[in-house]
Amino acid sequence: MHAPESNEPKRVRTVRIDLSVRSALLVVGTAAVVWLFLQLWQILLVVIVAMMLVGMLNPLVERLHRRHVRRGFAIAIVFAVLFLFLAGLGALFVPRIVSQAIELIDHFPDSQAKLAGQLASSKLTAPLAGSVRAVRLADLSERAQAYGFAYAPAIAEIVAYAVTAFFLALYFIIDRDRMRGALFSLVPRPYHVRLSRVLVNLEVIVGGYMRGQAITSGLMALFTFVVLLIAGVPNALALALFAGVVDILPYVGALLACAPAFFAALGQGTTVAFVVLVVLGTYQEFESRVVVPRVYGRALRLPSAAVMIALLIGGKLLGILGALLALPIAAGIRMALEELRVALPGEGVDDAELRAKDERAEAEFEARAAGVPACEAAMIATEMAEERHAEEEAAESEPGSAALVPVTGGKLDSERD
């Protein structure tokens, strides 16, 4: 039996959403910022790379300036040395690599036959001998040309962006005072001291990252040179320099570093070539698993696990460029949280002494920067930030000194004791 239908009218529930003007503007503004970022992210990356170059080169300029060299001459000297260094590297190993490639093409049939014969002599590698004999130099040339034409526009765009970042860094250093004054004019005075500390520490982070890159690339070049020298491979210096330069690139750097050395070693025999490949590949693994986390972790004050995670996230989001920028960005975020005294939800440590020190610094800045324009206020704040950074570095270098926790600015209980 069916229940009798009720004659009462159905009640319709109405949900009313009140959206204030401020909330609506916030939503629209957030959407606009996201859209603008998606449209201009490449330009933003150029600016970030330029700022990294500024962080690497500006300390050298300041060091020369402190030695009574005019700032304009110091800038010219630093950029001229950098340009000559890059041009020297190119002139040293590019012709050698080209000659090695031409020599490899000329001796390709002999190397192919030798490799196929050695593979066929073993039961384990015999199935690969037929594949090696089936490779045709003409097919490889056609594929190389096809890849070259396909990726030529992207490579040209990357080169153009790199040149733009180089000159943008030059303009940033030349107009340092005006650029810094314009930035500080957009920030309220009570935050000038913290902003200056963030900028000073960013310069330190970028310098540490660049030094880490120089250390790992130098070690890779030195190791490759020793291995190729022992193996009797010609043009070992050029190949080692090439390996050191491409070692900067995450993921593909290992392939680009090992492949030319392997093909150049084929002239000394297939066994020697495979030994060179295995040794260099083993060192690449050692570098990525041990050297990189320790060097960058120490320079950027990031745990080894954080270094690996940052590299994976950066590579996933933006490929090679993302992996290159991942470490300084991660270290910058950690440092900003520290300097802005942002405590994570699970942290309950509040260092009253450190906050009191911040308040004293801000009061001193207000007294010294009262009535001066933003450009002069920026210079005062930067000077105070550099003095404080020097004090903290001296305190950390003292034996038994307690280190600050990166995120909260507090201290570990064991360090307090």
Portion of the chain with pLDDT greater than 90, in percent: 1
Residues 101-134 as b/e (b if ≥16 CB within 10 A, e otherwise) read eeeeeeebeebbebbbebbbeeeeeeeebeebee
How far is it, in rounded angstroms, from Cα 236 to Cα 230?
10
Q: Has residue 28 been placed in a domain? A: no
Burial degree of 249 (CB within 10 A; 0-12, 13-18, 19+): middle
Q: Has residue 312 been placed in a domain? A: yes
Residue 11 pLDDT: 63
> What's the number of domains the chain is made of?
1
Confidence check: pLDDT of 133 > 80? no
Q: Has residue 277 been placed in a domain? A: yes
Provide the domain limits for residue 325: 188-417
Return the structure tokens found at 123: 């039961």
State the average pLDDT for the chain.
77
Q: Has residue 36 been placed in a domain? A: no
Confidence check: pLDDT of 243 > 70? yes
How far is it, in rounded angstroms, from Cα 161 to Cα 53?
13
Q: Has residue 102 been placed in a domain? A: no
Write the CB contacts of 80 (distance below 8 Å, at least 6 apart in sequence).
none
Q: Has residue 196 been placed in a domain? A: yes
Q: Residues 397-412: what's their mean pLDDT?
A: 43
pLDDT tens for each residue of 182-199: 888 888 888 888 888 888
Residue 7 pLDDT: 59
- For residues 308 and 251, the model is more confident at 308
Q: Has residue 412 been placed in a domain? A: yes
User: CB atoms < 10 A from the CB of 274, how many?
Assistant: 15
Confidence check: pLDDT of 145 > 70? yes
Residue 367 pLDDT: 83
Q: Is the pTM of this model over 0.85?
A: no
Is 409:338 a contact under the CB 8 Å cutoff?
yes
Alpha helices in 266-408 (DSSP H): 270-286, 292-300, 304-339, 352-368, 374-397
Is 174:79 a contact under the CB 8 Å cutoff?
no
Per-residue confidence band for 409, with pLDDT thresholds at 50, 70 and 90: very low
Q: Is 124 helix (H, G, I), strand (E, B) or coil?
A: coil
Cα torsion angle, 385, 391, 395, 397, sign: positive
Per-residue confidence band for 403, with pLDDT thresholds at 50, 70 and 90: very low
Q: Residues 103-109: what's their mean pLDDT?
A: 72
Q: Has residue 44 been placed in a domain? A: no
Angle in degrees, 0-180, between the axes of helices 252-265 and 192-231, rounded to the nearest 10:
20
Residue 305 pLDDT: 76
Residue 298 pLDDT: 63
Portion of the chain with pLDDT greater than 70, in percent: 82
